Chains A and B, each alone.
Chain A
């Protein structure tokens, strides 16, 4: 007589098996691990999420291959698409050879392997698609819609920035109107930190629109596999142009291919054949090809394919190479995490500033005499509203011989604008400042101070436009730092006739707002 197992025991075993099977079937694949690695490497500046600041080191000279907003607190490299739009926008003064060369290099080496293996946005789309909803499969309509990304590339990334380049007015149209990564990684990434809660005042119609667009794209990605990648992403469109010449990726041996179409059926992307411009080289087709014609190659070297799997020695060799590559990659990741998150060297304690002068631009430091300040000594010097504005002196364009000194304009309302030629909202609002300056020349002193970076084009830029207000140069960056400015432009400061700051904020201003601020400062 055999004893039957207690029912509870049978049920719990079955549930345990189910959990075990679930875990087994969800072990990340090699590709998933590479995607996670790339996402972490591109965003290795983890302390940025804690401090609420972006990384500003020299490594940002380099573009990462995949889609990653450089305004994200974690980003350590430049976004290739953002860099391309800005390069096209600046093509009036400088040929965009650097960015084009970098894209050509990435396209030639990786092609759309970037999309399948090295793009954080691709990873996010695949994870979103795992949400168990009804799915919309690919069909002939989605294949036609996949050409939409080329239209977006042509219009938003190339044509619009190019059309505004003669006016020296940078318009990164895709970033500004469509890009969901900027909204998610940049805006939400920064604003989620309490340190940046004051930036909520900058949100308006632009954020509202971009947020809704981001939600639509998220929804599409949940229901349609890689919807952003297939229909919208201009970077995928660029890399797709290199499908036939890229070194790394899925390759089909033509003599073995019988056109059975199984690879096309298996593939979730809108390919016509494996390895074409829609293929993201994920390798799902390799195992289903009945004639073993498909493999993942780097040039002539087969990295994955039936030719490797069939020969145990080759398989072992490739496995060793893979382990070696992972070891090197992990060392690089650990180094990157240490490098981008090491504590910054503590700045030398500055000598207490004299009461009158805090920030003087380098070119005038030796020649400009200090002045007496005639304000209440009880009001501390600082950058917040209600504090005494730190005195400064900046050389004036075009010759940089004359100087604008804040203390020379005591008795008048002073409006200070920090701007840069490469900053679109800065260029957009300069006419409002100039209009205010022309309307109240006796009552308002004004200075638009260009930041220290990329200044050679400023005289040319100003020469094209008929502004009357004075423009200065903050060569050392000390002046903007004295007003607590840093990586965000434009910044506007209003100082009343007694030298007290009444307004200091980052963000665009309209003419009406400027007039109101000036009126409030005059009343004070």
Chain B
């Protein structure tokens, strides 16, 4: 039935958009530092959880969401200042391990401060599903898609039209050369972590009404976002979006047409196949080893 297919597609694209936002966060930090930030999923948790608890204090929802997102950015900055910067010269692997530690730390703090229960954020514009062509779309799904598109556009503008964005791109291509050109590469890293924190928190805030949020929600989202980023090609923004949507749609189609038992397996088979035949992902630039 065609309407079933459309339903699976809508479901898949919504989940995929979330994965894409997480994947974008991975890509931004990877570009600036070649570090895989394993705390990216926990930025998502920070955004959702802080929004829930700010709203609970009586702050109006739009203000609360804004504060939550900014708080995500702040956590990104703190992660950089407290964890990454002091160990900047230690090389990529130690830095990655630091992000793993930071992820555990964030989860632990969240568990102590916010508790272990699940929380739901109210949907931004009501609970009444929209129906067309036999397909049901929740208004919140449209918010997720709309905000994702906006963010992608804004990121595109930032990286191609602004000085700071170009500086980040330049640093990602060649840190030493960028430094020689007068770019403050430390600043670039700081901005990248702040951006990744903001992006994660945005994802956390917009999906919390659909998926709920709790202190460990970042584990699964982080993993799926990472798969999406690798699928699309680590460091490629277009790739992150494509990877996220492909992953989301594949999962939904699997659950819908075959069996949800194999849903996760197919996602990983997909990534194996792509890495076999296109080792740098669908949109990744081929790695060039300089001698």
Q: Verify that A and B bind, or say they do not.
A: no
Residues of A within 8 A of B (CB): none
Residues of B within 8 A of A (CB): none
